[in-house]
Protein backbone atom coordinates (compact mmCIF):
# COMPACT_ATOMS: atom_id res chain seq x y z
CA UNK A 1 0.00 0.00 0.00
CA UNK A 2 2.81 2.42 0.87
CA UNK A 3 4.50 1.63 -2.44
CA UNK A 4 1.29 2.47 -4.29
CA UNK A 5 0.90 5.75 -2.42
CA UNK A 6 4.51 6.65 -3.17
CA UNK A 7 4.02 5.81 -6.86
CA UNK A 8 0.95 8.07 -7.06
CA UNK A 9 2.84 10.89 -5.35
CA UNK A 10 5.83 10.54 -7.67
CA UNK A 11 3.71 10.53 -10.84
CA UNK A 12 1.78 13.54 -9.63
CA UNK A 13 4.95 15.36 -8.61
CA UNK A 14 6.45 14.76 -12.06
CA UNK A 15 3.38 16.18 -13.81
CA UNK A 16 3.30 19.14 -11.42
CA UNK A 17 6.97 19.88 -12.08
CA UNK A 18 6.38 19.94 -15.85
CA UNK A 19 3.49 22.42 -15.50
CA UNK A 20 5.38 24.47 -12.90
CA UNK A 21 8.26 24.97 -15.34
CA UNK A 22 6.25 25.23 -18.57
CA UNK A 23 3.11 27.14 -17.49
CA UNK A 24 3.44 28.71 -14.01
CA UNK A 25 1.06 31.58 -14.86
CA UNK A 26 -2.05 29.49 -15.69
CA UNK A 27 -3.72 30.25 -12.36
CA UNK A 28 -3.25 34.03 -12.51
CA UNK A 29 -4.17 34.10 -16.22
CA UNK A 30 -7.40 32.20 -15.59
CA UNK A 31 -8.40 34.53 -12.77
CA UNK A 32 -7.51 37.55 -14.93
CA UNK A 33 -10.27 36.35 -17.27
CA UNK A 34 -12.80 36.46 -14.42
CA UNK A 35 -11.60 39.92 -13.43
CA UNK A 36 -11.84 41.19 -17.03
CA UNK A 37 -15.57 40.42 -17.07
CA UNK A 38 -16.21 42.44 -13.92
CA UNK A 39 -13.91 45.25 -15.05
CA UNK A 40 -15.98 45.58 -18.23
CA UNK A 41 -19.18 45.67 -16.18
CA UNK A 42 -17.71 48.28 -13.82
CA UNK A 43 -16.70 50.53 -16.70
CA UNK A 44 -20.08 50.04 -18.46
CA UNK A 45 -18.34 48.52 -21.46
CA UNK A 46 -19.44 45.46 -23.44
CA UNK A 47 -17.77 42.24 -22.37
CA UNK A 48 -15.35 41.26 -25.10
CA UNK A 49 -13.60 37.94 -25.42
CA UNK A 50 -9.86 38.09 -24.77
CA UNK A 51 -6.84 35.81 -24.36
CA UNK A 52 -7.38 35.63 -20.61
CA UNK A 53 -10.88 34.30 -21.14
CA UNK A 54 -9.49 31.68 -23.52
CA UNK A 55 -7.59 30.16 -20.60
CA UNK A 56 -10.48 30.68 -18.17
CA UNK A 57 -12.97 29.02 -20.52
CA UNK A 58 -10.74 26.02 -21.19
CA UNK A 59 -10.06 25.42 -17.49
CA UNK A 60 -13.75 25.75 -16.58
CA UNK A 61 -14.69 23.22 -19.26
CA UNK A 62 -11.98 20.85 -18.06
CA UNK A 63 -13.34 21.17 -14.52
CA UNK A 64 -16.91 20.40 -15.60
CA UNK A 65 -15.93 17.34 -17.63
CA UNK A 66 -12.97 16.01 -15.64
CA UNK A 67 -13.11 17.56 -12.18
CA UNK A 68 -10.52 19.82 -10.58
CA UNK A 69 -7.50 18.05 -12.06
CA UNK A 70 -6.03 21.45 -12.92
CA UNK A 71 -5.87 22.18 -9.19
CA UNK A 72 -4.43 18.76 -8.40
CA UNK A 73 -1.84 18.58 -11.16
CA UNK A 74 -1.28 21.81 -13.09
CA UNK A 75 -1.60 24.83 -10.78
CA UNK A 76 1.87 26.13 -9.94
CA UNK A 77 0.68 27.72 -6.70
CA UNK A 78 -0.84 24.41 -5.62
CA UNK A 79 2.36 22.61 -6.58
CA UNK A 80 4.36 25.00 -4.41
CA UNK A 81 2.03 24.18 -1.53
CA UNK A 82 2.49 20.44 -2.06
CA UNK A 83 6.29 20.81 -2.15
CA UNK A 84 6.37 22.83 1.09
CA UNK A 85 3.96 20.48 2.86
CA UNK A 86 5.82 17.32 1.81
CA UNK A 87 9.12 18.92 2.86
CA UNK A 88 7.58 19.60 6.28
CA UNK A 89 6.32 16.00 6.51
CA UNK A 90 9.83 14.78 5.67
CA UNK A 91 11.47 17.01 8.30
CA UNK A 92 8.94 15.99 10.97
CA UNK A 93 9.56 12.34 10.14
CA UNK A 94 13.36 12.41 10.00
CA UNK A 95 14.14 14.89 12.77
CA UNK A 96 11.18 14.70 15.14
CA UNK A 97 10.22 11.07 14.32
CA UNK A 98 6.58 11.95 13.75
CA UNK A 99 5.25 9.59 11.09
CA UNK A 100 1.67 10.90 11.00
CA UNK A 101 0.79 13.51 8.40
CA UNK A 102 -0.18 16.73 10.12
CA UNK A 103 -3.07 19.09 9.45
CA UNK A 104 -6.12 20.83 10.88
CA UNK A 105 -9.17 19.10 12.39
CA UNK A 106 -12.13 18.58 10.06
CA UNK A 107 -14.26 21.25 11.77
CA UNK A 108 -11.53 23.84 11.31
CA UNK A 109 -11.09 22.85 7.65
CA UNK A 110 -14.83 23.21 7.00
CA UNK A 111 -14.84 26.73 8.45
CA UNK A 112 -11.71 27.86 6.64
CA UNK A 113 -12.95 26.47 3.30
CA UNK A 114 -15.56 29.25 3.30
CA UNK A 115 -12.90 31.98 3.42
CA UNK A 116 -12.05 31.63 -0.29
CA UNK A 117 -15.65 32.47 -1.25
CA UNK A 118 -15.50 35.60 0.92
CA UNK A 119 -12.20 36.56 -0.69
CA UNK A 120 -13.61 36.00 -4.19
CA UNK A 121 -16.64 38.17 -3.39
CA UNK A 122 -14.39 40.88 -1.90
CA UNK A 123 -12.18 41.04 -5.01
CA UNK A 124 -15.09 41.13 -7.44
CA UNK A 125 -16.98 43.73 -5.39
CA UNK A 126 -13.84 45.88 -5.20
CA UNK A 127 -13.67 45.82 -9.00
CA UNK A 128 -17.33 46.82 -9.33
CA UNK A 129 -16.90 49.55 -6.70
CA UNK A 130 -13.87 50.98 -8.51
CA UNK A 131 -11.30 50.67 -5.76
CA UNK A 132 -9.56 47.52 -6.94
CA UNK A 133 -6.58 49.55 -8.34
CA UNK A 134 -5.91 50.71 -4.77
CA UNK A 135 -5.17 47.09 -3.86
CA UNK A 136 -2.23 47.06 -6.30
CA UNK A 137 0.78 45.52 -4.60
CA UNK A 138 -1.26 43.53 -2.09
CA UNK A 139 -1.75 40.40 -4.19
CA UNK A 140 0.47 37.47 -3.13
CA UNK A 141 -0.19 35.61 -6.39
CA UNK A 142 0.96 38.65 -8.39
CA UNK A 143 4.22 38.46 -6.45
CA UNK A 144 4.39 34.72 -7.10
CA UNK A 145 3.81 35.30 -10.83
CA UNK A 146 6.65 37.81 -10.92
CA UNK A 147 9.01 35.40 -9.18
CA UNK A 148 8.16 32.54 -11.55
CA UNK A 149 8.77 34.95 -14.43
CA UNK A 150 12.18 35.67 -12.86
CA UNK A 151 11.31 39.25 -11.97
CA UNK A 152 11.79 40.67 -8.49
CA UNK A 153 8.81 42.67 -7.18
CA UNK A 154 9.62 46.23 -6.19
CA UNK A 155 8.92 47.95 -2.87
CA UNK A 156 5.30 48.70 -3.83
CA UNK A 157 4.58 44.98 -3.47
CA UNK A 158 5.79 44.70 0.13
CA UNK A 159 2.33 43.77 1.45
CA UNK A 160 1.98 41.14 -1.26
CA UNK A 161 5.42 39.76 -0.35
CA UNK A 162 4.48 39.55 3.34
CA UNK A 163 1.18 37.81 2.49
CA UNK A 164 2.99 35.35 0.22
CA UNK A 165 5.41 34.47 3.03
CA UNK A 166 2.52 33.98 5.47
CA UNK A 167 0.71 31.77 2.96
CA UNK A 168 3.87 29.70 2.47
CA UNK A 169 4.05 29.22 6.25
CA UNK A 170 0.40 28.09 6.16
CA UNK A 171 1.25 25.65 3.36
CA UNK A 172 3.64 23.93 5.75
CA UNK A 173 0.92 23.43 8.37
CA UNK A 174 -1.94 22.09 6.22
CA UNK A 175 -1.98 20.19 2.94
CA UNK A 176 -3.30 22.43 0.15
CA UNK A 177 -3.65 25.38 2.54
CA UNK A 178 -4.03 28.04 -0.17
CA UNK A 179 -6.13 25.92 -2.54
CA UNK A 180 -8.66 25.01 0.13
CA UNK A 181 -8.89 28.24 2.08
CA UNK A 182 -7.72 31.27 0.08
CA UNK A 183 -7.77 30.61 -3.67
CA UNK A 184 -10.41 32.78 -5.41
CA UNK A 185 -10.11 30.72 -8.60
CA UNK A 186 -10.54 27.61 -6.48
CA UNK A 187 -13.81 29.10 -5.22
CA UNK A 188 -14.96 29.47 -8.84
CA UNK A 189 -13.97 25.87 -9.64
CA UNK A 190 -15.72 24.59 -6.50
CA UNK A 191 -18.99 26.19 -7.61
CA UNK A 192 -18.90 24.62 -11.07
CA UNK A 193 -21.29 21.75 -11.83
CA UNK A 194 -19.14 18.66 -12.27
CA UNK A 195 -20.31 15.67 -14.29
CA UNK A 196 -20.85 12.47 -12.24
CA UNK A 197 -18.35 10.76 -14.55
CA UNK A 198 -15.64 13.09 -13.17
CA UNK A 199 -16.32 12.46 -9.47
CA UNK A 200 -14.77 9.90 -7.16
CA UNK A 201 -17.07 7.13 -5.93
CA UNK A 202 -16.75 4.14 -3.63
CA UNK A 203 -18.90 1.10 -2.99
CA UNK A 204 -19.55 1.34 0.75
CA UNK A 205 -20.61 -2.31 0.89
CA UNK A 206 -17.04 -3.34 0.05
CA UNK A 207 -15.40 -1.02 2.60
CA UNK A 208 -13.80 -2.64 5.68
CA UNK A 209 -15.59 -1.89 8.94
CA UNK A 210 -14.46 1.38 10.54
CA UNK A 211 -11.79 1.92 7.88
CA UNK A 212 -12.07 5.55 6.79
CA UNK A 213 -8.59 5.51 5.21
CA UNK A 214 -9.76 7.57 2.23
CA UNK A 215 -11.26 10.36 4.31
CA UNK A 216 -8.29 10.42 6.68
CA UNK A 217 -5.90 10.80 3.75
CA UNK A 218 -8.01 13.38 1.89
CA UNK A 219 -6.62 16.90 2.53
CA UNK A 220 -10.19 18.24 2.44
CA UNK A 221 -11.61 15.53 4.76
CA UNK A 222 -14.17 14.50 2.15
CA UNK A 223 -16.41 11.45 2.13
CA UNK A 224 -15.79 9.73 -1.19
CA UNK A 225 -19.45 9.44 -2.13
CA UNK A 226 -19.70 11.08 -5.53
CA UNK A 227 -21.98 14.08 -5.96
CA UNK A 228 -22.32 15.67 -2.53
CA UNK A 229 -22.59 19.32 -1.44
CA UNK A 230 -18.84 19.28 -0.82
CA UNK A 231 -17.79 17.46 -4.00
CA UNK A 232 -16.53 20.74 -5.50
CA UNK A 233 -13.87 20.87 -2.79
CA UNK A 234 -12.18 17.78 -4.25
CA UNK A 235 -8.89 18.81 -5.89
CA UNK A 236 -8.44 15.45 -7.65
CA UNK A 237 -5.15 14.57 -5.98
CA UNK A 238 -6.03 10.83 -6.13
CA UNK A 239 -4.70 10.36 -2.58
CA UNK A 240 -7.92 8.56 -1.60
CA UNK A 241 -7.46 6.00 -4.37
CA UNK A 242 -3.89 5.29 -3.33
CA UNK A 243 -4.86 4.98 0.35
CA UNK A 244 -7.78 2.58 -0.17
CA UNK A 245 -6.71 -0.91 1.04
CA UNK A 246 -9.22 -2.63 -1.26
CA UNK A 247 -8.88 -0.44 -4.36
CA UNK A 248 -12.53 0.42 -3.89
CA UNK A 249 -12.42 4.01 -5.19
CA UNK A 250 -12.80 5.01 -8.80
CA UNK A 251 -13.66 8.00 -10.95
CA UNK A 252 -17.08 7.74 -12.51
CA UNK A 253 -20.34 6.18 -11.47
CA UNK A 254 -19.67 2.93 -9.67
CA UNK A 255 -21.78 -0.20 -9.68
CA UNK A 256 -23.57 0.87 -6.50
CA UNK A 257 -24.59 4.21 -8.05
CA UNK A 258 -25.77 2.58 -11.26
CA UNK A 259 -27.92 0.10 -9.33
CA UNK A 260 -29.65 2.95 -7.50
CA UNK A 261 -30.39 4.65 -10.81
Question: Would you give the end-to-end CA distance of the chain in angstroms?
Answer: 33
Average pLDDT over residues 23-35: 94
In angstroms, the CA 184 to CA 229 distance is 19
169 φ, ψ (degrees, to nearest 5): -65, -45
Which residue in 187, 175, 246, 189 sits closest to 217, CA to CA? 175
Asked if the model's pLDDT at residue 16 lies above 50, the reply is yes
| Global confidence as pTM | 0.90
Domains, the chain, in order of start with CATH, read 10-191 (no CATH), 196-260 (3.30.70)
Pairing outcome for strands 249-251 and 200-202: antiparallel
| Those residues with Cβ within 8 angstroms of residue 130's Cβ, 6 or more apart along the chain or in another chain | 42
pLDDT in tens, 84-118: 999 999 999 999 999 889 999 999 999 999 999 99
Amino acid sequence: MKKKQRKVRLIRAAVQLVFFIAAPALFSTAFAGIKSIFQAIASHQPITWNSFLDVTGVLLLITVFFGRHFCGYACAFGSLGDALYEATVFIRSKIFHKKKRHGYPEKVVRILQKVKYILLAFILLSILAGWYPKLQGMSPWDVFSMLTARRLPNASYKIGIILLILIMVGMCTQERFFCQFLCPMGAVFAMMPIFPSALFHRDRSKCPSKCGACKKRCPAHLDIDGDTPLSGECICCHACQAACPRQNIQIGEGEETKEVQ
